[in-house]
Chains A and B, each alone.
Chain A
Amino acid sequence: MKSRILTLAALGAFLAAPALAAEPVKIGMITTLSGGGSALGIAIRDGFKLALDQGGGKLGGHAVELIVEDDGRKPERAVELAKRMLDRDKADILTGIVWSNLAIAVVPKVTRAGAFYISPNAGPSLLAGKGCDANYFNVAWQNDNLHEAVGQYVNDKGFKKVYIMAPNYPAGKDALKGFKRFYTGTVAGEVYTKLGQKDYAAEIAALRGAKPDAVFFFLPGGMGISFLKQYDQAGLTGDIPVFGPAFSFDQTILGAVGDAALGVINSSQWNKDIDNAANKAFVADFQKAHGRLPSLYASQGYDAARLIGSALAATGGKAGDKDAFRAALKAAKFDSVRGAFRFGNNNHPIQDIYVRQVVKEGDVLTNKIVATAFKDHQDAYAADCKM
């Protein structure tokens, strides 16, 4: 009798093991797919899905189930979706959020529930320093990073009186702080605008009055399109040069800005001309799938998926084994499209940051790397993180 039970138990275990392994890992993606700023979320989703499609619906050779939901850039909606994905869908990993104010609302809830969050974009300082968490990884950058690179560049080029501008939300504050960390000249004016603002006539008039020798602005998505058009129409494009992070000169928006963006210097951790096999495959496959050049955001979504894939491959598809999976994520054994990539103590990237210039290739506006701003750059909050 006893042996029969044992045999049954062994048989049960034998049957259960492959069944468990075949159970797909659930990944919940909360991102902005409608309304203002939806181009960013759509790019992240498309980048992520491209990695999935390249693996034949698998990541790192293991089946995954991707649940995509639209947050409409609303924090309360994002929180609600996260709750649903954790409680009802039992997602192992969450990802996708574009905006820092949404990330701050969602990420602590995810990590507290014991699940993993992989950020393909937002990297608020709050979550990189004191609020860091072993289950939270950012595969893009800490918010300040790209702005720091512009600060350094503007400083090196001898600009002494710069007017700086960003939207009034956590990433905007991080942006200007990051810029000022490496820029040592005087600040001609520091302006916080409303998130999602369209009309910048008042700000542009005030800016002209301050007579700066350069302008630094961080206005992601449609805000940047509106600002650059209006700046150009005010006749300032030739007079006062503008500088910014990649977000306002990204492939998603260059087409809408037009020639007003031509020649502008901006900073990025990625560009389509970075020479490595992973990037070449990414750019070619993305173009084939969507008929357009990939954007920075798409590259980050793609890397997020491949990071998850590398951890699944290393752990045999067991996202449920938290410690092993966490260690595998931290090791970041994947070929990032940006080249060298590794995580610092606070699970944020240590990476090179480049200086790009907007150029025209045929009829298409795009970016070209012209210099390297930082080698192996780490964020300023890592020291505050107790990991």
Chain B
Amino acid sequence: MLLILEQVLNGLQLGVMLFLLAAGLTLVLGIMNLVNLAHGSLYMVGAFIAASAAQWTGSFLLGLLIALPAAALVGIAVEVIALRNLYERDHLDQVLATFGLILFFNEAVAMIWGPRALFIDPPSWLSGAVEILPGVPYPAFRLAILGIGLAVAGFLYWLVARTRLGMTIRAGASNREMAGALGIDIKRLYTLVFGLGAMLAALAGVMAGPIYAVEAGMGEQILIPAFVVVVIGGIGSIRGALAGAVLVGIADTLGRAFLPGIIGAFLGPAAASGAGAALASMAIYILMAAVLIWRPRGLFPAHG
């Protein structure tokens, strides 16, 4: 029972991590109608800058504070230089161009930081484990990720639903021309949204640094589940991204934790390591298919 609780917590935490990445992705996709495969590259850039800055200053928090604006600047530069010309093009062109950006960023990171993975330590007060339930020590840093993710979700909800900027974002999303005619500078708005998305991706990257390997190409592996989250949640919806991320995180974790055992109980240990492991890695895609059959536009479609 305790184990199930712990695994649900693990799932929540993975979900929150995915949410940080998916939030920026869904904003850019929903509002700017841009399929940005290079979102994972911004996640990687955030992690690398944070790792270097943390090494240089000796403080994880300073690394975080340096990485966020730096990654936002990188994002804005990418938007202004490369992506601005793609908004009017169809999705295939966007996919090709942003795939090119992935290659560019991977190569650039390897050139600047070398081929080896970087080291980044969590701050010492978050490096241990906390006993959340009797006999279940849980890594403090993962709890911090959970807290930060939920705080970001709250902040984004406030930003989009309650502020003037959020209002213009929503206006730009539902009718671009009309919003422009009413005097909103759409160009600047898009740059801002993209910068915000880049910063969220970098935040995910920095938080991932101490638990995952900081290496070139780290962005692609997590990008696919992040897209699954966006599709499940409904494109353009922050609320959907949070719900989708938590669902994906829990489905993936519980699948990995219990599916091989369940299959093994019915079909024997050979099936547990074969079919069980295979099925566990498919769990999130099965979930996505099921959600799409039930609600073809995702859980919380943003408009219409």
Asked if A and B bind, the verdict is yes
Which A positions have Cβ atoms within 8 angstroms of B? Answer: 34-39, 42-43, 168, 190-194, 196, 198-199, 201-203, 205-206, 209, 221-223, 225-226, 229-230, 233-235, 252-253, 255-258, 292
A37 to chain B minimum Cβ distance, whole angstroms, is 8
B213 to chain A minimum Cβ distance, whole angstroms, is 3
B75 to chain A minimum Cβ distance, whole angstroms, is 21
Taking a contact as CB atoms under 8 Å apart, the answer to whether B256 and A193 are in contact is: yes
User: Would you call B267 an interface residue if the criterion is a C-beta within 8 Å of the partner chain's C-beta atoms?
Assistant: no
Taking a contact as CB atoms under 8 Å apart, the answer to whether A222 and B127 are in contact is: no
User: Would you call B237 an interface residue if the criterion is a C-beta within 8 Å of the partner chain's C-beta atoms?
Assistant: no
B16 to chain A minimum Cβ distance, whole angstroms, is 12
A341 CA to B89 CA, complexed, in Å: 59
Which B positions have Cβ atoms within 8 angstroms of A? Answer: 3, 6-7, 10-11, 13-14, 17, 103, 106-107, 110, 115-119, 121-122, 127-129, 137-142, 208, 210-218, 220-222, 253-254, 256-257, 260, 269, 273, 277-278, 280-281
Taking a contact as CB atoms under 8 Å apart, the answer to whether A39 and B14 are in contact is: no
Q: Which residues in A have their C-beta under 8 angstroms from that of B127?
A: 233
A291 to chain B minimum Cβ distance, whole angstroms, is 9
A218 to chain B minimum Cβ distance, whole angstroms, is 14
A118 to chain B minimum Cβ distance, whole angstroms, is 22
A377 CA to B138 CA, complexed, in Å: 42
Taking a contact as CB atoms under 8 Å apart, the answer to whether A35 and B129 are in contact is: no
A225 CA to B208 CA, complexed, in Å: 12
B218 in complex: contacting residue of A192, A222, A252, CB < 8 Å = A222
A222 in complex: contacting residue of B142, B215, B278, B281, CB < 8 Å = B215
Nearest neighbor of A191 in chain B, beta-carbon distance: B260
Taking a contact as CB atoms under 8 Å apart, the answer to whether A233 and B122 are in contact is: yes
11 further contact pairs, Cβ within 8 A, besides A35-B106, A222-B215: A39-B116, A191-B277, A201-B10, A201-B14, A205-B6, A206-B257, A226-B211, A233-B139, A256-B116, A256-B214, A256-B215
Please report the number of residue pairs spanning A and B whose Cβ atoms sit closer than 8 angstroms: 140
Nearest neighbor of B127 in chain A, beta-carbon distance: A233
Q: Which residues in B have their C-beta under 8 angstroms from that of A43?
A: 115
Q: Which residues in A have their C-beta under 8 angstroms from that of B280?
A: 194
Taking a contact as CB atoms under 8 Å apart, the answer to whether B107 and A168 are in contact is: no
B211 in complex: contacting residue of A38, A229, A258, CB < 8 Å = A229
Q: Which residues in B have their C-beta under 8 angstroms from that of A257?
A: 119
Given the interface pairs A34-B103, A38-B110, the reply to whether A168 lies near B117 with Cβ below 8 Å is no
Taking a contact as CB atoms under 8 Å apart, the answer to whether B256 and A198 are in contact is: no
Nearest neighbor of A176 in chain B, beta-carbon distance: B273
Q: Which residues in A have their C-beta under 8 angstroms from that of B103?
A: 34
Taking a contact as CB atoms under 8 Å apart, the answer to whether A202 and B7 are in contact is: yes
Taking a contact as CB atoms under 8 Å apart, the answer to whether A199 and B221 are in contact is: no
Given the interface pairs A192-B277, A205-B257, A206-B257, the reply to whether A36 lies near B13 with Cβ below 8 Å is no
Taking a contact as CB atoms under 8 Å apart, the answer to whether A42 and B115 are in contact is: yes
B217 in complex: contacting residue of A35, A202, A206, A225, CB < 8 Å = A35
Q: Can you report 27 A-B residue pairs in the complex whose CB atoms are below 8 A from each other? A: A35-B216, A35-B217, A36-B215, A38-B110, A38-B115, A38-B215, A38-B217, A193-B256, A194-B256, A198-B218, A198-B222, A201-B253, A202-B7, A202-B11, A205-B6, A205-B257, A222-B212, A222-B213, A223-B213, A233-B139, A234-B139, A253-B116, A255-B117, A255-B119, A256-B118, A256-B214, A292-B116
Give me the 6 closest cross-chain CB pairs, A-B, nearest first.
Answer: A35-B217, A222-B213, A256-B117, A235-B129, A225-B213, A201-B10
Q: Which residues in B have their C-beta under 8 angstroms from that of A292?
A: 116
Q: Which residues in B have their C-beta under 8 angstroms from that of A191?
A: 260, 273, 277
B129 in complex: contacting residue of A37, A223, A226, A234, CB < 8 Å = A234
A193 CA to B257 CA, complexed, in Å: 10
